Amino acid sequence: MFKALVVSESDGSVTSEIKQLEESDLPEGDLTIRVEKSTLNYKDGMVVKGIGKLVKTYPHVPGVDMAGEVVESKNPAFREGDGVLVTGFRVGETYWGGYSQLARVNSNFALKLPNGLTSHDAMAIGTAGLSAMLALMALEEHGLRPSDDEVLVTGAAGGVGSIAVTILHGLGYKVAASTGRPEEAEYLRGLGATSIVERSELSSPSQRPLESERWSGCIDAVGGVTLARVISQLKRNASVAAVGLAGGGRFDASVMPFLLRGVNLLGIDSVMAPLNRREVAWSRLRDEVPRQLLGEMTREVELEEVPKLAEEILAGKVRGRIVVKLS
């Protein structure tokens, strides 16, 4: 038997509880993993609390990320004892996820754990870090360089934002960190932010289609009005990589910045990103995320704490990264 966090639905109400399951309860798949660590993302909070109708079939095990050791594999690419990590591919939504001491998944969803990366570090980085790195890679492919002026990170005190600030600083970028929590300013400066931008500067609509040019690039984890304001403030030919929607899934923006400044809006899909691109991203994450700073932005919790923390992450009260200990 093994422990798992199971969400159930009854009469439109979603509840979660820790249960003891049998291996026969696991779904189909050709890769069985003894999960050592998972993590808590905004999407996990939505699934645990039944928000957004992400889950179609109950009962369900959430957890979009997992890292651990292969117990059984029907794919010769993986052997018993291999360290692996799984993120995205609708795991934790359509498929059972990582909030379980034992998991079974499609082996096409898994990557071998990069050399030098522990399960804990992989989950401290997790989907949030993968999203941040994919965003940076897209910005670099559109011309962003460390010699440019300030790069903005919105939602900077959250998981994606914290890792984005850390990576950008380590590569020599000047980083402006936007947050709605003034008390996190010292934390963000510790990660490498060179300036702090109050969320209120970006969260109210502007009547001007073009504002003063401020940003050489942006990793945006907020969406909504904030994304529209960022687009209007980008420097000529600069880009914003959109990775989140904590501030809303819709935005009202003018085409003027695109036509008159040649700016770019880049969508970042970390869920279905191809494995070859993931491998490049994870290799860079291993090399470019300082372990000391990763430790400072991360705390480890027990599986039993996840339901309460799900409420906190949805309310924007979680700083940095949370690793969930499974075994």
Domain assignment of residue 280, yes or no: no
Tens-place pLDDT, residues 298-324: 999 999 999 999 999 999 899 999 999
Domain holding 315: CATH number?
3.90.180.10
The pair of structure tokens assigned to 63 is 């957890």
Are both 107 and 131 inside the same structural domain? Answer: no
Asked, for residue 121, whether it belongs to a domain, the answer is no
Q: 54-92 pLDDT, tens per residue?
A: 999 999 999 999 999 999 999 999 999 999 999 999 999
Domain assignment present for residue 288? The answer is: no
Nearest to 293 by CA among 125, 150, 133, 137: 125
CATH number at residue 170: 3.40.50.720
- Please work out, in degrees rounded to the nearest 5, the angle formed at the alpha carbon of residue 207 by the alpha carbons of 204 and 208: 110
Q: Is the domain of 168 the same as that of 240? A: yes
Same domain, 55 and 81: yes
The reply to whether 73 falls in a domain is yes
User: In this structure, are 171 and 262 located in the same domain?
Assistant: yes
User: What confidence category does residue 246 fall into, taking pLDDT thresholds of 50, 70 and 90?
Assistant: confident
In a domain, 303, yes or no: yes
Last residue of a domain, one of 224, 252, 267: 267
> Mind listing the pLDDT tens digit for each residue in 83-134?
999 999 999 999 999 999 999 999 999 999 999 999 999 999 999 999 999 9
In a domain, 107, yes or no: yes
Q: Are residues 172 and 245 in the same domain?
A: yes
Domain total in the chain = 2
Q: Are residues 104 and 55 in the same domain?
A: yes
For residue 45, the Cα-to-chain-centroid distance in whole angstroms is 12
pTM (predicted TM-score) = 0.95
* Full residue range of the structural domain in which residue 72 is found: 2-113+297-325
Pair (252, 155) in one structural domain: yes
Structure tokens at 264: 């770019």
State the average pLDDT for the chain: 97
Is residue 278, in this structure, part of any structural domain at all? no
Check whether residue 105 and residue 208 sit in a common domain: no
Q: What is the pLDDT of residues 153-203, one digit of tens each?
A: 999 999 999 999 999 999 999 999 999 999 999 999 999 999 999 999 999
Establish if 252 belongs to a structural domain: yes
Please check the confidence at residue 12 and state whether its pLDDT lies above 90: no
135 shares a domain with 107: no
In this structure, the answer to whether residues 171 and 85 fall within a common structural domain is no
Domain end call among 267, 285, 316: 267
Q: Are residues 54 and 80 in the same domain?
A: yes
Same domain? For 169 and 210 the reply is yes
